[in-house]
Chains A and B, each alone.
Chain A
């Protein structure tokens, strides 16, 4: 080591505290960059894994290639892995309980394809030879209960054809007119079950998937198969696949776009580009934060070694040599900080992911879809390069400054020479407000504006990042609907396509379940009524006029949507007695009477209000909306408002937005329905159940079974309690990521503040000693330190808070219509931030000055002036 570097080394050791804090700064910045890159690659990995699961693990497929020509593809130098598959076609599924899906759709995969195609084994094993088959689990749910793994089944394979005898393509939905001709019967042994594959899109394919083994050895030379490949260099896929197709007799080919897009290779999809640009912005933020810290550290170090540099220069060190010593200092700090940062980054992110995965398991992503830590080989070089660049940028200006120091300036040594009277002028008000200690504090801050500014700037950056990020989290969580309202029920069922005459039976069957304590059968008919302006609440009217999303007739009446709602007999009685109303008053099926549930929620002010000004006894003229049948004439009818209440029945957390409900008895409901709906409408009548239950593990299953026996259409049984819990976990997991990021970036700021303030105090050792020698008491000393802290904090907050509020507002506006709530500030976080700023500054000041307080005055005075 040459003499200059030796000097640098010893000065690093001498200022051990600052060296350590700077290394921590570098460490944090390396750790965060490494973590950001890891998170990005981990998410990319998650998306890739998901794409493999939904669309398969291959890059491209050539269709209908003759077996002899397929060798050109499989043996191609570009091909990494090749697999064969074939669609065998339909077979009759006699037992199917689903009218429009009366077939099996049989696919053949060779052994490689079994592992690469998007099928997921849930029981048993993959077929290993001809005559073995996998069935989709759904087959067992819809009629195939008797099938078991190990069982042998005979399938009638054949062709579907249309009414004119034309063959039907496989994707054609089933129709009553089609016919099926069986061509052969094959016997298969069931070796396992698979989950419903993603490609079996919901109702259009009229068959349930079954997968059997494709023995490529038995294929004839001209038999056609599909060949899917994984390419050696995925990046070249778009060039090589057309070439390969040309060589293999021009088959059709297609890319696995879902997978390629997450590999970042898709030609016109920007999904990965977006993820990468978000990562780039985050890294940029980290870089800005880090540069301020590290720059500051070098600036301090250079100004402290100013005399040394001057002496060196006077004894003949060239500016280049001096510049290099500063960079040498950077290199040493980087060599220590970066590896530690990488370790901390990987450790931290691994830990975070494991916590997040535990929270998320069995929720948004299913269990196999966990985010796993992917350490890509690029992470280390990327991190090292970025952090090295950060250090270089930070050291550049201090190095130049060090090299430019003239010997005489350095030896005369005084920054103080630069002080001008007006620079340190303070107003009389300062002395009046804070006393001479406050004035001294203020003058001190003003003396070294550059250093003062760096400290304030680093505080400022931390404040802005913290507050605007908090706003972002709040907006995103609220906007994403992750703040679930507490629903008063724990199960909800939405069933479609249950014929009205069976509603009651279904209701009774559900209510009869042991675990069900209360059960609302919620049915509604949407009606409208033209009401004069005076009947509406001001909030509603304001919305009508501002948003003009309501019809108005010639007489100045607005159209009001009123939902007629039936609850089921038992719940209706419960509801009426709850509200002190006699249920018997509402049974008359000639003179309709209903209860107005007059409560609505405004999405804009997030507050409940009474939408209508209607009293009990008023009569409303209602008219039904034709559900999907526009042409029909719909009779109008009179509904008397028998009672008005603001209580909502079980099954609501709130009513619809901008509308009100009229609760009627089941008898009235049935009468109105038969009056305004005709038979064809019944699939459009909604049927919902809301339950309060005593829980129980098998309940969801039982409910599903009941529902399936009434309809083969979609049914949503939602375990509300579980869903809420899941939402809370997801929110927590997201918050961990985001707040983790904030904390780290704040820590970078803290190291900066720590470095600046403690150096600042240390440099003034002699001054403090002098003040003490003319009689400054320990209390006075504390006062000066406290005032300085307050001034730092105030100044930073003065700039930081308005800027962060502006940024929050900007964020709110840029998301535009996405948010359905009015702008609000994250007050809690702002308070935390204000408190945090002062705590950090005070602790640092206290720490920095604690040694000085006990120090011997004379020792300090003897020290050389800096």
Chain B
């Protein structure tokens, strides 16, 4: 069952001689529960594509449909609410709020939604993330791997249909990387979530169901493993 459809998506920066086509006429679709790895050289347009799918960067042209909704037809407020409920974004540089502790950072999307936190689910998530003992710590008291786990927790707390990870292990050593990827795979299977992950590491990409390879803003290979 299709959850995401990308149609003729393009992102162009600048104009005239300085025109840069970061993403050019990309189309593909992803089914529910799929784990997709996106690979490609630096500057091939991976991150831009991912951000456009996540609704944080507007495309120049083309459409992104998530569960049938054209997300760029929504106004700012509706788009924000859509992001909050349907999408979990994980960045290479964690992007946690320094003033909030682990628990607050993880539950932020719920708090913004004025939803009650389901204690059981939070505890389960914390246990999965191996962060149970650290809920009152502030980000600056955590290691890089721990911070990334918190940001994964934040991405998953709303049980989004779509988890987008932008090189989540790019900043971590191999042991931490392995843990993070295992965690993402676990949630992908346990919660039947769709996971799209950008990575540079070949061995991580090989763990996915499908690998999309980008070059110069276009898909050059789309293979099922």
Contact = CB atoms under 8 A, between A and B. Distances in A.
A429 to B, nearest CB: 16
B162 to A, nearest CB: 13
Contact of B83 (A414, A420, A774, A856): A774
Contact of A424 (B76, B99, B108): B99
Given A421-B101, A858-B56, A775 B83 contact: yes
Contacts of B85: 775
Interface string A760-803: 00000011001111111111100000000000000000000000
A509 to B, nearest CB: 85
Interface size class of B (residues with CB under 8 A): 35 or more
Contacts of B101: 421
Interface in B123-176: 136-141, 154
A856 B52 CA distance: 12
Contact of B140 (A417, A436, A856): A417
A419 B98 contact: yes
Contacts of A767: 97-98
A440 B112 CA distance: 10
A770 B95 contact: yes
B49 to A, nearest CB: 12
A857 B56 CA distance: 6
Interface string B41-83: 0000001000100101110000000000000000011001111
Contacts of B47: 858
Contacts of B83: 773-775
A777 B76 contact: yes
A308 interface: no
B125 to A, nearest CB: 16
Interface in A435-477: 435-436, 440, 443-444, 446-447
A774 B98 contact: no
A861 B80 contact: no
A281 B93 CA distance: 54
A856 B76 CA distance: 12
Interface in A849-866: 856-858, 861, 865
A416 B98 contact: yes
Contacts of A772: 56, 80
Given A772-B56, A856-B57, A436 B111 contact: yes
B136 to A, nearest CB: 6
Contacts, number: 91
A779 B97 contact: no
A776 B82 CA distance: 10
A778 B84 contact: no
B114 interface: yes
A775 B51 contact: no
B56 A773 contact: yes
How many of chain A's residues touch chain B, expressed as a range?
Answer: 20 to 34
Nearest to B97: A767
A856 B89 CA distance: 16
B138 A419 contact: yes
Interface string B185-217: 000000000000000000000000000000000
B154 A774 contact: yes
B198 to A, nearest CB: 14
B112 A773 contact: no
- Most chain B CB within 10 A, of A443, A773, A778, A856, is at A773
A777 B81 CA distance: 7
Given A774-B108, A780-B112, A419 B99 contact: yes
Interface string A386-422: 0000000000000000000000000000101101110
A775 B77 contact: no
A777 B77 CA distance: 5
Contacts of B35: none
Nearest to A435: B114
A766 B85 CA distance: 21
Interface in A472-525: none
B12 interface: no
A775 B138 contact: no
Nearest to B57: A858
Interface string A161-200: 0000000000000000000000000000000000000000
B100 A443 contact: yes
B167 to A, nearest CB: 13
- Which secondary structure characterizes the binding site on chain A? helix
B137 to A, nearest CB: 7
Given A416-B98, A421-B137, A770-B97, A775 B81 contact: yes
Interface string B82-113: 11110001010101111111000000110111
A773 B98 contact: no
B31 to A, nearest CB: 24
B111 A858 contact: no
A773 B54 contact: yes
A512 to B, nearest CB: 84
Contacts of A435: 114
Interface string A545-568: 000000000000000000000000
Given A416-B139, A447-B99, A857-B56, A436 B112 contact: yes
B144 to A, nearest CB: 13
A421 B142 CA distance: 13
Given A424-B99, A773-B54, A777-B77, A416 B84 contact: no
Contacts of A416: 98, 139-140
B77 A419 contact: no
Nearest to B80: A777
A778 B76 contact: yes
A771 B93 CA distance: 14
Tell me which of B57, B84, B98, B99 has the highest count of chain A C-beta atoms within 10 A of its own C-beta. B99
Given A417-B140, A857-B57, A773 B89 contact: yes
Nearest to B137: A421
Nearest to A778: B76
A771 B82 CA distance: 14
B88 to A, nearest CB: 9
Nearest to B77: A777
B90 to A, nearest CB: 11
A443 B80 CA distance: 22
Nearest to B56: A857
B82 to A, nearest CB: 8
B140 A774 contact: no
A440 B98 CA distance: 11
Nearest to A414: B140
Contacts of B112: 436, 771, 774-777, 780
Which of A447, A767, A858 has the most B CB atoms < 10 Å from its CB? A858
A148 to B, nearest CB: 90
Contacts of B82: 775
A148 B145 CA distance: 108
A772 B83 CA distance: 9
Given A417-B140, A778-B76, A779-B77, A773 B95 contact: yes
Residue among A420, A776, A865 with max Cβ neighbours from chain B (10 Å): A776
B26 to A, nearest CB: 17
B219 to A, nearest CB: 21
B140 A775 contact: no
Contacts of B96: 770
Contacts of B97: 440, 767, 770-771
Nearest to B88: A774
B69 to A, nearest CB: 15
A436 B85 CA distance: 17
Contacts of A421: 101, 136-138, 141
**Which of B80, B81, B100 has the most A CB atoms < 10 Å from its CB?**
B80
B164 to A, nearest CB: 10
Contact of B89 (A414, A420, A443, A774): A774
12 contacts: A420-B138, A421-B137, A446-B99, A767-B98, A774-B108, A775-B82, A775-B85, A776-B84, A778-B76, A779-B77, A856-B57, A865-B93
Interface of B: 47, 51, 54, 56-58, 76-77, 80-85, 89, 91, 93, 95-101, 108-109, 111-114, 136-141, 154
Given A436-B114, A861-B91, 4 more contacts: A767-B98, A774-B89, A776-B112, A778-B80
